[in-house]
Amino acid sequence: MGNSIFITMDKVLLSLLIHCVVTIPPVNALTCSAEVGSDFSMVDADGGQILTIKTDNSVHRWCNFRWLPVEGTIKYVSVNGSVIFALRLDGTIMRYLGGTWVTAFPVYQSNFVVVKKKDTMIIVNLLNSVYCGAFNQAHPTYIVGITVGLLLQLVACGLHDCWGISPAGTIIYLDTNTCTSNGVSYSYGRMFVNLDVGDDDTVYAITSTGELFKSVGVGTSIMSWQHLLAGTLFKHVSVDGDNLWLITQDGKLMFCE
């Protein structure tokens, strides 16, 4: 799959994405580029690293002003700067090392993996059970940790806070020290299906109908939710600093700053 499937990104975006890793300055206004590309299923970004997955499970990485194909077929990817973990189609956890995918051990069959916090990862297995693990540079593909009595569909983390979505579509706060819920949850009459957490602990969440909401308040002090970009429906969100990467329900990629 070549570069012809992508169109040229907005000039503002190109000025931000220098080489593979950049530092993005904070901004105050939310402005978005035009929707580009097609058939995207998800995007994950952190520290200027951006990876996308297409509906055919092919992977591309933004580097040196162009999308580069990444080998293999992947159903989910999580990026934490240079640390990249992903799931194969059968749910096996992989780490991207030296330009190739390496199987992590022990082998877990999983639906979801997140590595946004330093040297830690949260795994959701095929039965929605949550596993909190850790890895280090000495053993980059070996995972150690514990399974806890908590059922979530997916988890998202910022620098400090982690949130998950329950099978009922409720957003639940996750205490990463104990890998358990402290009882704080939010629904506001909506079923949530996707979310991410910014470095400032703001939560961005997508409802089952595709509406994008931003939390008013952070941590365990969220008071309400602000509807963003009304008129456009989404299926996936990723936060990188003050920037949002979004996949629309018709599979197009949007960048907002």
Choose among 56, 59, 79: nearest CA to 69: 59
Cα(106)–Cα(232) distance, integer angstroms:
41
pLDDT of residue 244: 94
Q: What is the pLDDT of residue 105?
A: 87
Domain that holds residue 82: 3-256
Look at residue 213 in the predicted model and tell me its pLDDT: 96
| d(C-alpha 105, C-alpha 135), whole Å | 10
**CATH number for position 123:** 2.130.10.30
Provide the token pair at 252: 């197009």
The total domain count for the chain is 1
∠ CA(120), CA(163), CA(52), 5° rounding? 70
Report the pLDDT value the prediction gives residue 25, as an integer from 0 to 100.
35
Predicted local confidence at residue 156, as pLDDT = 94
DSSP secondary structure string for all residues of 52-106: EEETT-EEEEEETTEEEEEEEEEEEEEEETTEEEEEETT-BEEEEETTEEEE-BS
Contact between residue 174 and residue 162 where contact means Cβ atoms under 8 Å apart? yes
Residues β-bridged to residue 164: 155, 172
Residue 44: pLDDT above 90? yes
Q: Which range has the worst mean pLDDT, 33-42, 109-118, 209-218?
A: 109-118
Answer with the residue of higher pLDDT: 217 or 177. 217
pLDDT tops 80 at residue 50: yes
User: For the purposes of burial, counting CB atoms within 10 Å of the CB of 101, is it exposed (0-12), middle (13-18) or buried (19 or more)?
Assistant: buried
**How far from each other are the two terminal CA atoms of the chain, in whole angstroms?**
28
Distances (CA, A) of 26 to 23, 59, 91, 237, 255: 10, 28, 36, 18, 15
Q: Poorest-confidence range of 33-37, 83-87, 242-246? A: 33-37
The two structure tokens encoding residue 30: 């939310």
pLDDT category at 29 given cuts 50, 70, 90 is low
Range of lowest pLDDT (66-80, 174-188, 205-219): 174-188
Mean pLDDT of 115-134: 86
Work out the average pLDDT over 175-199. 87
Most confident of the ranges 2-11, 175-184, 246-255: 246-255
- The predicted pLDDT at position 20 comes to 39
The mean pLDDT of 248-256, rounded to a whole number, is 95
Report the C-alpha gap between 53 and 61 in whole angstroms.
Answer: 9
Write down the pLDDT at residue 21: 35
Place 194 in a pLDDT band, splitting at 50, 70 and 90. very high
pLDDT confidence tier of residue 186, bands split at 50, 70 and 90? confident
The answer to whether residue 47 scores a pLDDT higher than 80 is yes
d(CA 204, CA 217) in angstroms, rounded, equals: 11
| Arithmetic mean of pLDDT, 104-133 | 86
Q: Return the exposure string of 238-251: e unless at least 16 CB atoms fall within 10 Å of the residue's CB, then b.
A: bbbbbbbbbbbeeb
- Determine contact, residues 123/110, Cβ cutoff 8 Å: yes
pLDDT of 159 > 90? The answer is no
Residue 187 φ/ψ, nearest 5 degrees: -135, -40
